[in-house]
Amino acid sequence: MQVTSPRRAPGGFPVVGIIGGGQLARMCQPPAVNLSLTLNVLSEGPDAAAALVVPSAPVGSHLEIDDVLAFAKECDVVTFDHEHVPADVLQALVATGVPVHPKPEALRFAQDKVAMRERLTALGLPCPAWATVHDEAELAAFGDLHGWPVVLKTPRGGYDGKGVRVIDAAPEAADWFARGGALLAEECVPFSRELAVLVARSPSGQAAVWPIVQTVQTDGICTEVLAPAPGLDPSLAADASQTALRLAGELDITGVFAVEIFEIPGTDGSAPSYVVNELAMRPHNSGHWTIDGSVTSQFEQHLRAVLDLPLGDVGPRATWTVMGNVLGGDYDQLYPAYRHLLARDPGLKIHLYGKGVRPGRKIGHVNVYGDDLEDLRARARHAADYLEGTVTE
Ligand code: ADP
């Protein structure tokens, strides 16, 4: 692997290393420019989303200890674009003495859904009923106790709903059990909507939590985020925010992280409640609205947090911000679509990731903010659809 020392700005400014060259690393670059920080990204390839825009992006693998150590030598702090760095590589990285955020002990709870469920349960935080299951008989026993269908998950490696199945009867999971290893069985939560709590915490313990958002999923992929979540019960909001802050402290999480939760409607006039679905320890799709809708974006905040700088204001810039994800269509002419969209909606903010278009792939997002939620939703939806090629005017 070819590694050169990244050039740093005069004045003692640090180099922030990010393992992984995806869109999250890419979106750290604008705030890095403004803060005079130099980003150094360990990139999957020369054309990765971040490699196209950061000043230093050596190509190497997050699975190879030698690549990660050679890369880390040139960084003052190391953080992540994704959660897939294996434990042995993380251990070797920490042993070099370079600060790593979040630390492997915390990251484990975002990498392994069983470890996460065990820890949350030990902390007394609200979770769906769950168990590890090793075969059809154990799954059947779980389903008979907690009701069918059951949500079955692979403990590691899932994203965008891959690694999650709704099972109506145990034999349906035969193929997963044939692969061996434990699976996570969860009660199918009768939620009314999905919410996310985004938090930043620095190594010295300062923490900040953004307003809770609603995430709207289509076929297991988040397509829209409403900030703040409309009509959210204030005591649920306060409780869920407290839970996220408590988790940050108990798990010693550093950097930006998200707690995904399910809102459960109250019955017979009682207040709604919630359970925690999962944790993501990095800037998160549910926080992309903050680039335009919050005084401090999650990407700026993440850089501040991992450097142990004071955190920024997480207040909203407008009553509402709506984020629409742009999923790849089946054409490759994105640039011409700009002219039309920019003319049609001067308040629209487009963020693309420099990725090639493939069906279903997240290639960018749009943000709009203002006072009229339904108008904002319609504008965000139209822009995303237009960039996806599903509407033509
Ligand atoms: P991923 O790691 O792929 O993001 P998640 O655990 O977030 O997987 O699950 C993906 C989706 O599956 C969730 O957004 C939710 O819609 C649904 N889901 C997950 N767990 C449950 C559950 N226990 N009950 C009902 N739906 C669930």
Residue-range domains of the chain with CATH = 15-100 (3.40.50.20), 129-187 (3.30.1490.20), 193-388 (3.30.470.20)
Testing ligand 1's pocket by substitution, the residue of 164, 167, 194 carrying the most ligand atoms inside 8 A of its CB is: 164
The finding on whether 345 has its CB within 6 A of some atom of ligand 1 is no
Residue nearest to atom 12 of ligand 1 (CA): 161
Residue 198 banded pLDDT, cuts 50, 70, 90: very high
Who has greater pLDDT, 200 or 328? 200
Tell me the pLDDT tens digit for each residue of 311-333: 999 999 999 999 999 998 766 67
The pLDDT of residue 162: 81
Percent of the chain surpassing pLDDT 90:
89
HEC profile for 99-135? CECCCHHHHHHHHCHHHHHHHHHHCCCCCCCEEEECC
Handedness of CA 153, 63, 299, 355 (dihedral sign): negative
Residue nearest to atom 10 of ligand 1 (CA): 161
Encoding tokens for residue 65?
């200890």
The pLDDT of residue 331: 65
The pLDDT of residue 281: 97
pTM of the entire predicted model: 0.96
User: What DSSP line would sit under 3-42, residue for residue?
Assistant: --PPP--TTTPPEEEEES-SHHHHHTHHHHHHHTPEEEEE
Q: Cα(165) to centroid of ligand 1, in Å?
A: 9
- Say yes or no to pLDDT of 24 above 90: yes
Closest-lying ligand 1 atom to the alpha carbon of residue 275: 23
State which amino acid sits at residue 302. H
Tell me the pLDDT tens digit for each residue of 205-255: 999 999 999 999 998 889 999 999 999 999 999 999 999 999 999 999 999
The finding on whether 138 has its CB within 6 A of some atom of ligand 1 is no
CA distance 321 to 23: 20
The pLDDT of residue 1: 81
Tell me the pLDDT tens digit for each residue of 237-248: 999 999 999 999
- DSSP one-letter code for 286: G
Q: Where are the beta strands (DSSP E) in 121-173?
A: 130-133, 150-153, 164-167
DSSP lists the bridge partners of residue 197 as 259
Residue 85 banded pLDDT, cuts 50, 70, 90: very high
Tell me the pLDDT tens digit for each residue of 99-157: 999 999 999 999 999 999 999 999 999 999 999 999 999 999 999 999 999 999 999 98
Q: Cα(146) to centroid of ligand 1, in Å?
A: 17
Q: Cα(113) to centroid of ligand 1, in Å?
A: 11
- Say yes or no to pLDDT of 31 above 70: yes
Q: Cα(303) to centroid of ligand 1, in Å?
A: 29
State which amino acid sits at residue 75. C
Testing ligand 1's pocket by substitution, the residue of 142, 146, 277, 281 carrying the most ligand atoms inside 8 A of its CB is: 277
CB atoms within 10 A of CB 359: 9
The pLDDT of residue 214: 98
Assess contact for 50 and 57: CB atoms under 8 A. Answer: yes
Long-range contacts of 160-167 (CB under 8 A, 24+ apart): 160/220, 160/221, 161/217, 161/219, 161/220, 161/221, 162/220, 164/220, 167/139, 167/143
The pLDDT of residue 330: 64
Nearest CA to 23 out of 218, 299, 260, 213 is that of 299
Testing ligand 1's pocket by substitution, the residue of 151, 194, 222, 276 carrying the most ligand atoms inside 8 A of its CB is: 151
- Say yes or no to pLDDT of 39 above 70: yes
Nearest CA to 257 out of 217, 199, 205 is that of 199
Residue nearest to atom 22 of ligand 1 (CA): 188
